[in-house]
Structures are given as structure tokens and as C-alpha cells.
Structure 1
Amino acid sequence: MQNKIVKQPRVSNEIILSLNRWKRDLEKAKHHVPFITVRHVNKVGRRHWIYCPRQGRDVHLLSDGELGAYKILLWQPETIRVEEQYALDIDESLDIAISGNIVHPRDWKTNFAHIMTTDFVRTKRTQSGARQRVAYTFKYWNQLYERCTDGNIKQINPRTWQKFAIEREYWRRRGVEYRIITERDTTKARIWNINSFELAHNLNPAQSELIEFGESFVEQWMGAPNDELQDHLQDVASKLGLSFKRSQSLFKYCGLHHLLPLNTTRYLRLFLPLELTL
């Protein structure tokens, strides 16, 4: 017996106009313009409207989880840009929904279709120097999975996975990899470390200074891997004739730009030992 063909929502003129307006804004702007902004979201929860120093523009993130995911994606050394709240063309997302016999996202009261968005589209540079795009959806783990009594993990909320299927196919048609990430990929320790590293984002050290600092730091750590971070920074400062403040700033800059093999899954604090992944 064949599955019953689901009824798709209607597309309003207002929705079409909003999508076309966003496309025009993208063409005119010098940088990415998110389709959804913080001021347009009424749902309960924490939202973040921040200035991004690396991209030189305001960024709109709709949860603490999105904020963490954005920062981790942004500061990867191969990242060129990260575009948030990226709208999907509604004609194509509806076509995919029809093909998969999935109800397109909609306002259930009015039965008008919603414009679907992907949380992040990241453009990165590959090892060959080419540009590659990757699409990401962020969702909290407990909204997607449940641990069973036997220890196995099962997917929950099938409606959410149906929406993911539409997104995945949309990006597959464009040759773009699609990934689902959760707060388990963006741990509190990693975010805390990035927030600390970002304090040195506007530092402008010479390449020679970075190399000298990095080599000295690794040498000091290998000689006493159980010492506290502040001890290593002070030893390097003394060896290179730096102030402790300069040594600390160089460490944060190196951490932000992945110039030291730091284990950032652990909190990096002055009074704690740290681990290098040599």
C-alpha cells in the first residue's frame, strides 16, 4: 500500500516578497546579510547580536549554542567566511518536500509555507587552495536523540529529521556537504577558551616574534608539562625579554589562530596545567 500523498502548504505573496528583498539586499551589500535577525525573532530563549571582528560585520545568532558553533567555525584556520541564517529558495525546498512526500515547514494556523534557513554556510580553503562550502545545522542533542535503557541511542522528533532531509537534499544539489552539529561539538571548555583567545584578536605581532614565542613555549612545556600555564608564560617572558602581559597576549593570539598544538577540550586557565598535542 502506497503512502498517502501529503498536502503541501500555500506560498503567500508576502513570503515571496521577503525572499526577493533578501536576495536584493545580498547583491547590494558588501558582506553577508542574514535572512533572520535577532529583532525579528519572538521565541523564548537567549539570542545574540554581536559584532564579529574577523568578518567586520554584525552577526545574528539565535541561541547560546549557535553562538558557540559560530565562533568555533569562524576561527578555524582554513575558514574564509561564515554566513548565518542563510535562506533557501522556497520553490526548490517545496519541490524537494513534494518529491520526498514531506510536509514543507509552515505556519500550521494559516497553512502558509515558511522560508527555510540553514544556520551556517561556511566557506573554507582546501589544502589545494580551492574554495569549498559546507552547510551546518545546529540543534541541541536532546532535541535529536534519546539514550535507551539498553545504552543505545535513537533518533527522536521525526518531524525535525524530515526538515533536515529537505536541507540536506537542497545542499546536495549544489555539491555542498551538509552537517548536523550539537553542543557536544561546541563544549563549554572550547567556547571559554575561544572567548579568552579573542581578547588578542587585534594583536599584530611580527612573524618572527610568533615563531620565537611558539618555539620557546613548546620547549618550556616539554621540560615541565605539569607546571601551571602562568609558570610557562613567565618563563618564556623571562627568556625572551618580554613582559608577562605580552607573553600572555602572544599565547592567546597563537591559540586563536591555531599556532600552538593546544588541547582546547580542557579549560586553559593561568592556574592550571595545560596539555599540548605533540
Structure 2
Amino acid sequence: MKLFNSEANNRKIKAFNEAQAKGEYRPYLSASFMSAGTRSIFKCPKTGRDILLLSQTEKHGYINLIYQPNVIEIKEQYALDLQITLEICEQERWIHPRDHETGELKVCTTDLLVIVSDENGRQARLAYSFKYQVNLDEDWRTDQKLKLEALYWDRFDITFDLVERMHISKMKAYNLINLSAWYQHSLADDLIDMFVRVFLTQVKITPLAALTNLLRDAGNVLEITTRQANVLFANCVLRLKIKLDLSRKLEYHQPVRLL
């Protein structure tokens, strides 16, 4: 079978690169490409951008990463340069991903490309592939495709990792998703820090009190409503100012489990 690159590929690659050049991000894969049963489309509460993810595993991985304090941005379904992936496949004597019926070449993508920054403002990138579960000893083609991604990113000195479902805390992701409904990017740092001090003082005074009562008491001290205290609490947790054990469901009628 003769492999070929299509005009449709070229148009999508051009649109992807043009958006990048404008400082925008547009995932290479569109919602119409994804299975309605597994895809996840949601607005990222931290960046405000509509996010397109192929599976719940990717969504849980995304939400576990986006609130890390060193994470600036996450780009999903990131297109790999077709000429480079073709070159790698030729060197390794692999068949490049293609349409099995027509021979049309497929543009490879990496699930999540994470941009991080250190304390000095220096940026770096980390690449991730998410799989529900995979046996690389038996699924040789998946193993080959993952090696292709790893070799691609190695050319740019970027670490590439495979993350399976078992390595992601589903409950932590659920907790973060629920807290995300209260996320506000513009909250002042001094207000956040003040709430942390008051809330932790309330926990120290009444460690067995239900979270609802702690929020009410913290609100009374700060002379704000319980709802406003809830917003501040959620933002403190998401910013890791208040560190909780999120591996178990966050219940408002139970005491908080601090780390």
C-alpha cells in the first residue's frame, strides 16, 4: 500500500501552526473526531479555554495537573511534526500511522503537553500519553506508537511519560472538579492568605467540627457570608494553600483531613 499525505492533513496542520503563531492554542483533533461516549469537552476553570479530551482518563489527568503551582498551561491533542515522525519511522523501519484502507498518513498527536515554570521563570515542557490500561508486551503496535512519541520528544530534550488509569486518583480528580466550580482567578493573594490563617485557626480550636461549621465560623471572623467563605476555601485548596487529603471524598458534614 502506498502511503500519502492528504490536503485535509495539510489544511489542519496549517491551521494548527497559524494559531500557535498568534499565541493561541487550537487542539489538532476536533470534537467531531472523538467518540461521543468517551470524549470530554469542558471549559478549563483556570485558563478559561474550552478543552477537548479523548477520555475520562485524560480529563482526570488534566485536572490533577492544571492546579499544580508550577503549571502554566496544558495543550491537549498536540500535533507532532509529520516530517519528523516520518523520519523516525524510516530510521526504525516502522510503518507510520496511517489509514489502513486508503494509506492516508495520520498526523500523530500527544495527549497533553504541559508547560511548567520554575521559581526563576524558566519554562520547560513535559509530554504525556494517557491510556486506560495497556499491556505493551502483547500490544506491539501501541508499544511502537508510544516509542515513536518518546523518540520524537527526545529530539527536543522533552520528557515523555505514559500514564495509565491506575496511576491517577479518580477521587482526587472528582474532588478537584467539584472545587473548580468555585475557582476565581482574580482573588487577591492577601485575601487568600488571611483566610488560610483564620481557617486553620478554626481547625485547631475545633478539629472535629464539620467542614460546614468551620466555614461558617471562619466567615463570622472575617465578616463574610458562608458562601464567600466556601469560595475562599475552594480556591485555597486548589492553590495548595490549604493541603487536604483528597484521596477520599470531601464531605462538608465531616471534619477536614489536613495533610
Instruction: Normalising by structure 2, report the TM-score.
Output: 0.89
CA deviation after TM superposition for structure 1 residue 180, in Å:
1.2
Report the counterpart of residue 136 of structure 1 in structure 2. 128
Q: Which one of 60, 72, 80 corresponds to residue 68 of structure 1?
A: 60
Q: Which runs of 5+ in 1 are unaligned?
A: 1-7, 146-153
Instruction: Normalising by structure 1, report the TM-score.
Output: 0.84
Separation in 2, partners of 1:11, 1:61: 27
Q: Which one of 218, 222, 227 corresponds to residue 209 of structure 2?
A: 227
- Does 2:99 align with 1:117? no
Separation in 2, partners of 1:20, 1:209: 44
Report the counterpart of residue 26 of structure 1 in structure 2. 19
How many residues of Structure 1 are paired with residues of Structure 2 in the alignment? Answer: 259
- Write out aligned runs for 1:182-197 (5 A): 182-197=164-179
Relative to structure 1, the CA distance from residue 111 to residue 13 in structure 2 (aligned partners, 3 Å threshold; closer, same or farther) is closer
Relative to structure 1, the CA distance from residue 24 to residue 178 in structure 2 (aligned partners, 3 Å threshold; closer, same or farther) is closer
Identity over aligned residues, as a percent?
27
- Write out aligned runs for 1:143-222 (5 A): 144-145=134-135, 155-202=137-184, 204-222=186-204
Name the amino acid aligned to 1:12.
Answer: N
Report the more deviating stretch, 217-226 or 132-141. 217-226
Report the counterpart of residue 220 of structure 2 in structure 1. 238
Q: Which runs of 5+ in 2 are unaligned?
A: none
Report the counterpart of residue 105 of structure 1 in structure 2. 97
Report the more deviating stretch, 24-33 or 209-218. 24-33
Relative to structure 1, the CA distance from residue 87 to residue 51 in structure 2 (aligned partners, 3 Å threshold; closer, same or farther) is same
Name the amino acid aligned to 2:51.
Answer: V
CA deviation after TM superposition for structure 1 residue 156, in Å:
4.0
**Residue 133 of structure 1: SS of its match in structure 2?**
strand
**Residue 236 of structure 1: SS of its match in structure 2?**
helix
Q: Is the 8 A contact 1:237 1:247 kept in 2?
A: yes
CA deviation after TM superposition for structure 1 residue 140, in Å:
0.5
Q: Alpha carbon RMSD of aligned pairs, Å?
A: 2.3
Q: Is the 8 A contact 1:220 1:236 kept in 2?
A: yes
CA deviation after TM superposition for structure 1 residue 240, in Å:
2.9
**Residue 264 of structure 1: SS of its match in structure 2?**
coil
Relative to structure 1, the CA distance from residue 10 to residue 265 in structure 2 (aligned partners, 3 Å threshold; closer, same or farther) is same
